[in-house]
A and B are shown apart, each in its own frame.
Chain A
Amino acid sequence: MSMFQKTKTARYSSCRSCAVTSRTPYSTVPSEKTFDKILIANRGEIACRVIKTCKKMGIQTVAVHSDVDSNAVHVKMADEAVCVGPAPTSKSYLNMDAIMDAIRLTGAQAVHPGYGFLSENKDFAKRLAAVGVTFIGPDTHAIQAMGDKIESKLIAKAAKVNTIPGFDGVVKTAEDAVKIAQQIGYPVMIKASAGGGGKGMRIAWNDEETREGFRFSSQEAASSFGDDRLLIEKYIDNPRHIEIQVLADKHGNVLWLNERECSIQRRNQKVVEEAPSMFLDADTRRVMGEQAVQLAKAVKYSSAGTVEFLVDSKKNFYFLEMNTRLQVEHPVTECITGLDLVEQMIRIAKGYQLQQKQEDIPINGWAIESRVYAEDPFKSFGLPSIGRLSQYQEPLKLSHVRVDSGIEEGSDINIYYDPMISKLVTYGATRAEALARMEDALDNYVIRGVTHNIPLLREIITHPRFVSGDISTNFLPEVYPEGFKGHHLDEDRCRELLASAAALHVTSQLYSHKILGTQRVSSAPMDQNNWELCVELGQELHDIEISKSGNSYIVKVDGGQVEVCGDWNLASPLLPLTINGTCRMLQCLSKESSGNIVLQYMGTLFKVRVLSKLTAKLNSYMPEKVSEDTSSILRSPMPGTVVAMSVKPGDTVADGQEICVIEAMKMQNSLTAVKQAKVKSVHCQPGETVGEGDLLVELE
């Protein structure tokens, strides 16, 4: 096996190298000599992103990959590729020994770490320095200083960067608490020193609430943690996550490249980002930018970095942390500033000075980024999903769209790595323009084979609160307190969907008649122009009359009339229609003989069943399929590995009791019983890999 791998690797290296003719590497700045060869110690979209800039600069590239990634896009894009180990990241992309070997083997002069993996690992940076290979990123001391949360706050404080005001010591009495709260300024948060999970935590907006909060919190802390020590710090209401991109060279020059707003998050992971932020005025922006520069200077930062702030509703901002790497969401900054951050990082690493002055940094228009993930947004705003991209088309035909991805049609999204499919970026002169393009881009994005979060992304970017800029990091739980349920169709949209489905059905029926060539037994042509149909959506049946003229259909549905026009290519996943004069992009995911059609409309998937009126009548005699009693069976909500099984047959579980834990994409998910019952059978064991929908445990 190992032998086999080596041959493959060798084959790669040889055929890749010969594809590129040797030429003097130059950066896009004429006459600047740069590296000959860079190794990218990462995978996926960021590896591809870095390779693109390297190609532009005439630098040869080396990809590293795990064995399951041997066919990955970044491997194909790079001039050379080296396999650094098996699938688990700890054995491949985090395997420093193997990566150091790859550097030696290929003679790369510098390493770009991307984000994640080894990007903020000071040991890796040190090992590179020891062999004289350039780390494309900040110096190790900056990585170290900013890597420690407490130390970074102290440094920030010293550099006169706003930090969250709070009392570092322990609060003794209620009156003590009031005094401190007044110093900090309301609102404040009183929390248990030993706390966690929201226990022993109170928010106070005035003196009275502070006294009360002190009493409750200390009691709760004592009972929950056996430790009644309390802390007080400033409570940031409706916080927004806004960060400043900085760029620093090795000669003490530091620029701030404006902000990115990343308030739309779920489980502390960003979902939608934009630049600039609607919330900042020029002054606040400048002050934030200058403080970010102060911090960078304080740690002698070089390369690209990001200073993250929390901003409250009164535009007070507080330092959160500094990321000493290229961020996932860097494209929005590139769109509005026109700078190629990767190119700048490479230049800086090579020792060149920044060519821009602060006043050269513009805000040109608006850019939005949606993180397209292979996950099911209907489960806690996104649980990972895996699969093979059986069909995949990025909406690159549209203008002002940038897609950063590291996958292609046929790629596998597996449980080993981040389930991100791509970063979809749109830009325009104004925010409204960028948003309209995002809507279009999401509608035109074809992804089949995995469940994805486009339904959620599209709802977010069209939500009135988002459109008006009224967002905070609590946006998702506030807007969808019951969890995300998909697009809610109003009456008009519902009619449009029903009409489109009916028209598609008729088109396909007509198509079934189109047998070519002369036949021995003649065929009867379809000379019908009007049809009576019945469309089932959800639990409801809708009677429909539809008539055809040319490429358009007039559909009478629910007391309204809809005109649907289109090219009707049944082989294409995209279904561009003109509905009552408005262009709408629908997608057809499946169309079965049984009349079941799955359409993507307004980003959300809708299952409809189109039947002729007669068929619908006869169908009413068919017995209803009894659906499975889901309270007595536990199925895996996602693919992953069983890490713990807490029950065995014969056990009695209570409502809400943990039954087992599934790990997927580095996330542990506890699955619980929904009723009290005896365990009938257990169908999996710890360590076993399970697929989505696999039966785990049966209750009686």
Chain B
Amino acid sequence: PFCALTRPLSAIACLLQTNIQSDCRWYSVSHLSVKERIEKKRKAAQMGGGQKRIDAQHQRGKLTARERVELLLDPESFVETDMFVEHRCSDFGMEQDANKFPGDSVVTGRGRINGRLVYVFSQDFTVFGGSLSGAHAQKICKIMDQALTVGAPVIGLNDSGGARIQEGVESLAGYADIFLVHPSDLPHHGSLCILTHLMLCLQDTSYLFITGPDVVKSVTNEDVTQEELGGAKTHTAVSGVAHRAFENDVEALLYLRDFFNFLPLSNQDPAPIRECQDPSDRLVKSLDTVVPFESTKAYDMLDIIHAVLDEGDFFEIMPTYAKNIVVGFARMNGRTVGIVGNQPKVASGCLDINSSVKGARFVRFCDAFNIPIITFVDVPGFLPGTAQEYGGIIRHGAKLLFAFAEATVPKITIITRKAYGGAYDVMSSKHLRGDMNYAWPTAEVAVMGAKGAVQIIFRGKENQAEAEAEYVEKFANPFPAAVRGFVDDIIEPATTRKRICRDLEVLASKKQVNPWKKHANIPL
């Protein structure tokens, strides 16, 4: 299986050399009894690539594969599989005992996070730089198969020399090397692995790219550092590949434990409900004044989101990418919900290519895993301009529209202020089968802002200010939408939490089936 891989191969080859020179021999077999040999192998497996490499790993500020597993899972819940598996390569001296490590370069098994079942694999950088081998891939596939049969998620902790992906929690979809090893098996598992869609990475130490800086230089003559090309900052703020970055291993794993609690075990399960100490009928007085008096003034949508949620606990996804839309997970009266909100603080909360794609992906994630979607709308429209049009804003904007339209989970929408034009339609409007759509008294559901509208309607005419005032009086309020039934009610902002919690209770039994098709044809 290695033959298809050029990078891991070279990585192994060079590690191989250093290994031959070293004289560690933990498990030379012969005169020992089977029982002793078992013990010996187990011990060796615990040590991965040996103390020296473990120390080196620590010096780099990283944890070992086993330490990571220990931290991620509940104490003493880890049940390991394939501890005795060894690689089967016989080229370049790999067949020597010194180059065989029980368990090979990945630790696999199952365990519990806050009592809930999870399968996990953790690549061991101390063994051949965590690089892929046939055995390595086989181990991963084995736990995936099992996870599929019981309907439990898989978390992968990546630390592999092959692609230099440090510490990612991700599914296999993003990891090209694994596809190469077992191309036919993996798409299967990907569909079950709920963390497929999420990749967390580490600041300063995570790098991820298709081709490294050297190849980039030789092919395109572009000078770029690892960090610039595929560092955590690049992927969380520019490319949108990674969903969140953390300071270090420990922080990432602690956050992951809490995050795991939001998600169902599989797409067959309902979103979990945790006991809730925050009263579901709590009135949130601060919301009555959150929208500023001037409709052009910005405010922070996160103020609304934090105030409404259970205990203000919000796990934001992609907080540094396309910041004009906010997405993340939270709970309402204990139920997991997905939150989508326009962010007036950034680019007036408009929809552009990146924010549309970010939103669409999140909405589909929620729909795939039975998580109700709460949408807070304050959107002035799509971002105009050639950059956006040439980039295909129509196509990308349609992704968000498509995602909201096809989603069959409960959908509750609150229009806090602007809901203009096509962007209003896109944001989980009634027209896209929103279950409950509310408007705050500050809502303005209209085709566009008064100024722009008047400039078009009364082009070249005088008294534009007067016309503008008339437009404001007519359209810059929730009534035009309310009289047509496009919003179900106009609500006092303070009651928002109460209303959402009550609706979620009712919508818990919502059943909606989309017409049969092989798969939907989202405008990719």
A-side residues, CB < 8 A to B, are 1, 3-4, 7-8, 67-68, 70-71, 388-392, 408-412, 511-517, 519-521, 523-526, 528, 569-572, 593-595, 611-612, 614-615, 618-619, 621-623, 625
A-B pairs, 7 with minimum CB distance? A410-B286, A571-B278, A623-B61, A514-B275, A523-B115, A593-B258, A410-B289
A619 touching B250 in the complex, CB below 8 Å, given contacts A521-B152, A526-B115 = yes
Are B116 and A515 interface neighbours, CB within 8 A? Answer: yes
A3 touching B465 in the complex, CB below 8 Å, given contacts A411-B289, A619-B250 = yes
| Complex partner residue of A521 from B114, B151, B249, B250, CB under 8 angstroms | B151
From residue A639, how far is it (CB to closest CB) to chain B in Å? 15
Are A615 and B257 interface neighbours, CB within 8 A? Answer: no
Are A614 and B275 interface neighbours, CB within 8 A? Answer: no
Contacts of A517 in B (CB 8 A): 273
Question: How many cross-chain pairs have Cβ atoms below 8 Å apart between A and B?
Answer: 139
Docked complex Cα distance between A344 and B278 (Å): 45
Contacts of A594 in B (CB 8 A): 250-251, 254-255
Q: Which of B117, B254, B285 has the most CB of A within 10 A?
A: B254
Are A622 and B250 interface neighbours, CB within 8 A? Answer: yes
Name the CB-closest residue of A to B261.
Answer: A512
Name the CB-closest residue of B to A527.
Answer: B115
A388 touching B285 in the complex, CB below 8 Å, given contacts A615-B254, A618-B250, A621-B61 = no
Which of the 9-residue segments B172-180, B305-313, B386-394 touches chain A?
B305-313
Docked complex Cα distance between A627 and B148 (Å): 45
Are A622 and B61 interface neighbours, CB within 8 A? Answer: yes
From residue A600, how far is it (CB to closest CB) to chain B in Å? 16
Name the CB-closest residue of A to B57.
Answer: A621
Docked complex Cα distance between A68 and B299 (Å): 14
Q: A515-B275, A614-B71 are in contact. List 7 more A-B contacts (CB 8 A).
A: A388-B303, A410-B287, A517-B273, A524-B115, A618-B250, A621-B58, A621-B61
Name the CB-closest residue of B to A531.
Answer: B75
Are B248 and A623 interface neighbours, CB within 8 A? Answer: yes
Docked complex Cα distance between A619 and B254 (Å): 11
Contacts of A623 in B (CB 8 A): 61, 248
Docked complex Cα distance between A691 and B275 (Å): 39
Contacts of B275 in A (CB 8 A): 511, 514-516
Name the CB-closest residue of B to A568.
Answer: B277
From residue A685, how far is it (CB to closest CB) to chain B in Å? 21
From residue A180, how far is it (CB to closest CB) to chain B in Å? 61
Contacts of A622 in B (CB 8 A): 61, 247-251
Are A513 and B114 interface neighbours, CB within 8 A? Answer: yes
Interface string of B422-450 (1 = CB under 8 A from A): 00000000000000000000000000000
Name the CB-closest residue of B to A67.
Answer: B293
Contacts of A612 in B (CB 8 A): 75
Are B286 and A389 interface neighbours, CB within 8 A? Answer: yes
Are A515 and B272 interface neighbours, CB within 8 A? Answer: yes
Interface string of B264-303 (1 = CB under 8 A from A): 0100110011111111000001111110011000000001
A570 touching B277 in the complex, CB below 8 Å, given contacts A390-B307, A521-B150 = yes
| Complex partner residue of B293 from A68, A519, A569, A572, CB under 8 angstroms | A68
Interface assignment of B67: CB less than 8 Å from any CB of chain A: yes
| Complex partner residue of A621 from B63, B75, B117, CB under 8 angstroms | B63
Docked complex Cα distance between A514 and B472 (Å): 49
Name the CB-closest residue of B to A408.
Answer: B285
Docked complex Cα distance between A525 and B115 (Å): 6
A520 touching B265 in the complex, CB below 8 Å, given contacts A615-B250, A622-B250 = yes
Docked complex Cα distance between A483 and B251 (Å): 34
Secondary structure call for the A interface: loop
| Complex partner residue of B286 from A68, A409, A520, A571, CB under 8 angstroms | A409
Name the CB-closest residue of B to A570.
Answer: B277
Interface assignment of B469: CB less than 8 Å from any CB of chain A: yes
Q: Which of A3, A572, A621 has the most CB of B within 10 A?
A: A621
Name the CB-closest residue of B to A520.
Answer: B269
Q: Which of B115, B150, B466 has the most CB of A within 10 A?
A: B115
11 contacts between A and B (CB under 8 A): A3-B466, A390-B307, A391-B286, A411-B289, A512-B258, A512-B261, A514-B275, A521-B116, A526-B114, A614-B75, A621-B63
Name the CB-closest residue of B to A511.
Answer: B275
Are B247 and A625 interface neighbours, CB within 8 A? Answer: yes
Docked complex Cα distance between A611 and B250 (Å): 10
Are A569 and B258 interface neighbours, CB within 8 A? Answer: no
Interface assignment of B488: CB less than 8 Å from any CB of chain A: no
Interface assignment of B74: CB less than 8 Å from any CB of chain A: yes
Interface assignment of B473: CB less than 8 Å from any CB of chain A: yes
Q: Which of B114, B257, B288 has the most CB of A within 10 A?
A: B114
From residue A182, how far is it (CB to closest CB) to chain B in Å? 64
Docked complex Cα distance between A623 and B166 (Å): 15
Docked complex Cα distance between A594 and B254 (Å): 6
Are A71 and B289 interface neighbours, CB within 8 A? Answer: yes
Contacts of B286 in A (CB 8 A): 388-392, 409-410
From residue A608, how far is it (CB to closest CB) to chain B in Å? 15
Docked complex Cα distance between A153 and B469 (Å): 57
User: Which residues of chain B in 473-503 are interfacial with respect to chain A, using CB atoms and an 8 Å cutoff?
Assistant: 473
Interface assignment of B70: CB less than 8 Å from any CB of chain A: yes
From residue A449, how far is it (CB to closest CB) to chain B in Å? 9
Are B67 and A618 interface neighbours, CB within 8 A? Answer: yes
Are B274 and A515 interface neighbours, CB within 8 A? Answer: yes
Docked complex Cα distance between A572 and B259 (Å): 21
Name the CB-closest residue of A to B112.
Answer: A524
Contacts of A512 in B (CB 8 A): 114, 257-258, 261, 274
Are A520 and B268 interface neighbours, CB within 8 A? Answer: yes
Are A516 and B274 interface neighbours, CB within 8 A? Answer: yes
Contacts of A525 in B (CB 8 A): 115
Are B288 and A410 interface neighbours, CB within 8 A? Answer: yes
Docked complex Cα distance between A618 and B290 (Å): 43
Name the CB-closest residue of B to A617.
Answer: B67
Interface assignment of B359: CB less than 8 Å from any CB of chain A: no
Are A618 and B273 interface neighbours, CB within 8 A? Answer: no
Are A618 and B469 interface neighbours, CB within 8 A? Answer: no
Are A571 and B311 interface neighbours, CB within 8 A? Answer: yes
Interface assignment of B341: CB less than 8 Å from any CB of chain A: no
Are B261 and A520 interface neighbours, CB within 8 A? Answer: no
Are A571 and B310 interface neighbours, CB within 8 A? Answer: yes
Are B469 and A3 interface neighbours, CB within 8 A? Answer: yes
From residue B297, how far is it (CB to closest CB) to chain A in Å? 9
Q: Which of A68, A523, A572 has the most CB of B within 10 A?
A: A523
| Complex partner residue of B277 from A520, A571, A625, CB under 8 angstroms | A571
Interface assignment of B334: CB less than 8 Å from any CB of chain A: yes
Are A513 and B289 interface neighbours, CB within 8 A? Answer: no
Contacts of B74 in A (CB 8 A): 524, 526
Interface assignment of B77: CB less than 8 Å from any CB of chain A: yes
Name the CB-closest residue of B to A389.
Answer: B286
Contacts of B287 in A (CB 8 A): 410
Contacts of B310 in A (CB 8 A): 571
From residue B180, how far is it (CB to closest CB) to chain A in Å? 32
Name the CB-closest residue of B to A388.
Answer: B303
A593 touching B255 in the complex, CB below 8 Å, given contacts A70-B293, A391-B286, A619-B250 = yes
Docked complex Cα distance between A410 and B151 (Å): 44
Name the CB-closest residue of B to A571.
Answer: B278
From residue B326, how far is it (CB to closest CB) to chain A in Å? 16
User: Which residues of chain B in 211-262 are interfacial with respect to chain A, using CB atoms and an 8 Å cutoff?
Assistant: 247-251, 254-255, 257-259, 261
From residue A91, how far is it (CB to closest CB) to chain B in Å? 16
Interface string of B65-96 (1 = CB under 8 A from A): 00100110011010000000000000000000
